[in-house]
Amino acid sequence: AQKVTQAQTEISVVEKEDVTLDCVYETRDTTYYLFWYKQPPSGELVFLIRRNSFDEQNEISGRYSWNFQKSTSSFNFTITASQVVDSAVYFCALSEAASGTYKYIFGTGTRLKVLA
Amino acid sequence: GAGVSQSPRYKVAKRGQDVALRCDPISGHVSLFWYQQALGQGPEFLTYFQNEAQLDKSGLPSDRFFAERPEGSVSTLKIQRTQQEDSAVYLCASSLKGQPQHFGDGTRLSIL
C-alpha cells in the first residue's frame, strides 16, 4: 500500500543552522512523483519541488536541497543556513501514475521552528 | 485572481446543519481536488474532478459528503447533517493534468 512517513513531528533550530527533514515513502508503482510543500501559518500549501521516480539527481535551489534515494525509499529535504522565515510545517507527498488522478498521499508533516 | 480561491475562509455551523464550501480554481486547470486536513495532520484526499467529471470520490468519508463541478470550473463541496468529526480545514487544489497542484488557503470548518 502507498504511504508517506515523516517521523519528525517537530524540529527546533537556531537561525543559521542547517536542518534536514526526513521523508520515507512506500509504493508498488514504478512511476511516481514525490513532492515537498511548505505550509506557513496562513494555511496555504506552497509547492517547493517535484521529482519523478526515474530521476534520482539531487537538486539544489538556493538554500534548499533535496536528496532522492530509491534504494532507501527516501526523499529528504535540507535547508542550509536556516532563517526565521523558514518556520512552517513541511509536508512530503507521493503521487502515483497508476492512480490516474495523480492525487496526493501526504505525510503527517514536520513543524520547523527557527529561532532568532 | 491568479491563485485558487476558497470561500468562506471560516465557517461555523451547528451539528446537523448543511454547509457548502466553494472553490474557484486557476483558470484553465482541468484537474480539481478536495482534501480534508484535521488538526495536526496531513491533508487527506476526498475527491477528484477532471473538468466536470467526478472521476474519483473514494476519499469521501460518508454519503453526507457531496461535491460537484457542473461547468468544469467552480466546485462546491457540500456536507449534509454535519457532525463534530467533520470539523477540519478543507483544502481545494487545481492543476494541469499530471502537474503539481496549486492549493487555496482552505476553509476552516467548525461544528458546534
B90 and chain A in contact, CB less than 8 A: no
* Residue from A4, A29, A26, A3 nearest A109 by CA: A4
CA distance A31 to B104: 27
**Assigned C-alpha cell, A92:** 512530503
For the stretch B53-70, pLDDT in tens is 999 999 999 999 999 999
Half-sphere exposure of B88 (CA within 13 A, CB side): 22
Distance set, CA A56 to CA A29, B34, B57, B100 (Å) = 16, 30, 32, 18
Choose the mutation target among B35, B60, B103, B107 for the interface with A, i.e. most A CBs under 10 Å: B103
Q: Which residues of B touch A102 (CB under 8 A)?
A: 31, 95, 97-98
For the stretch A35-49, pLDDT in tens is 999 999 888 999 999
Residue B103 above 80 pLDDT? yes
What is the pLDDT at residue A22?
A: 98
pLDDT, mean over chain B: 96
Query: Considering only residues 65 to 104 of chain A, which have any Cβ-Cβ distance to chain B shorter than 8 Å?
Result: 91, 93, 99-104
- By CB atoms closer than 10 A (0-12, 13-18, 19+), residue B39 is exposed
Backbone angles phi, psi at A75, to 5 degrees: -145, 85
